[in-house]
Amino acid sequence: MEKNSGRYFMEKTMHKNMGVSDQQRHLPQPPLSWAAEPVNQRVELPNPESLGIAPVDIHMLITQRSSLRDYADQPLSLAELSHLLWCTQGVKVTYDQQMTLRTVPSAGARHALETVLLINRVDGLEPGLYRYMALDHHLEVISTLRDIAGRLAAACFSQRFIMQSAVTFLWVAMPYRMTWRYQERGYRYLHLDAGHVCQNLYLAAEAIGAGVCAVAAFDDDELNSLLCLDSEEAFVIYLAAVGKKVGE
């Protein structure tokens, strides 16, 4: 890696180096969400409120929160998965297809992340890759190939707990959704947004007796290729494995 490349990135994305954005040029904004694929099987998710989680002490959740790599064999229920998705990317309000307000903060409410799920053990779902369609709160099946979990773990430098998770969240950054307004500085905000989303996942998982381990070590090209992403338009920015705690 080129020495000082990180410092170079920070320098070049300072406000003083910004020009005129595509928003200021009155160019059309990118879509709020990736488009549904009519050929993909659709999976309806339960209302997140149907889980009926008892009130929790936020101080206790923050105190208990830690990264967990050993998971029980117990699957997540579909309602629990719905809860986790709602807490990490749930859409509260949509304003005329121009903006969404969600359960996590995002720079300028751009919400330039999409969620892909590696499902290993969730009741009612066949193992495989799924896309979360946040605007309608449902899933679309991407792939149910038998070796998909192993291939994904291999792309994460063989971190085997990914294969043992009930579900692994993969957050995909859609850079133009952010840079349309903020230009190259938007790449900074993509990373900040990923942190917001992942912390919500940690806390939401604690509330249902599950644990999380965030993953930032992965082969970018391998993982993007596995998800059939054009890295100029979309790329994996962060992952997190989730599973029930042993003994819960």
At residue 164, the pLDDT reads: 97
Quick one: which of 248, 50, 83, 244 has its CA closest to 166?
A: 244
At residue 247, the pLDDT reads: 79
Q: Say whether 133 sits in a helix, a strand or coil.
A: strand
Tell me if 181 sits within 8 A of 245, measured CB to CB: no
At residue 186, the pLDDT reads: 98
Q: Say whether 37 sits in a helix, a strand or coil.
A: coil
How is residue 91 written in tokens?
A: 């859409």
At residue 216, the pLDDT reads: 98
Q: Say whether 177 sits in a helix, a strand or coil.
A: helix
Q: Say whether 167 sits in a helix, a strand or coil.
A: strand
At residue 107, the pLDDT reads: 96
At residue 72, the pLDDT reads: 97
Domains observed in the chain? 40-244 (3.40.109.10)
Low-confidence ranges of the chain (pLDDT < 50): none
At residue 3, the pLDDT reads: 85
- CA pair distance 154, 118, nearest whole angstrom: 13
Q: Say whether 76 sits in a helix, a strand or coil.
A: strand
At residue 55, the pLDDT reads: 87
Provide the pairing of β-strand 42-44 with 138-143.
antiparallel
How is residue 121 written in tokens?
A: 């053990």
Q: Say whether 165 sits in a helix, a strand or coil.
A: coil
- CA pair distance 116, 93, nearest whole angstrom: 22
Q: What is the pLDDT of residues 64-106, one digit of tens each?
A: 999 999 999 999 999 999 999 999 999 999 998 899 999 999 9
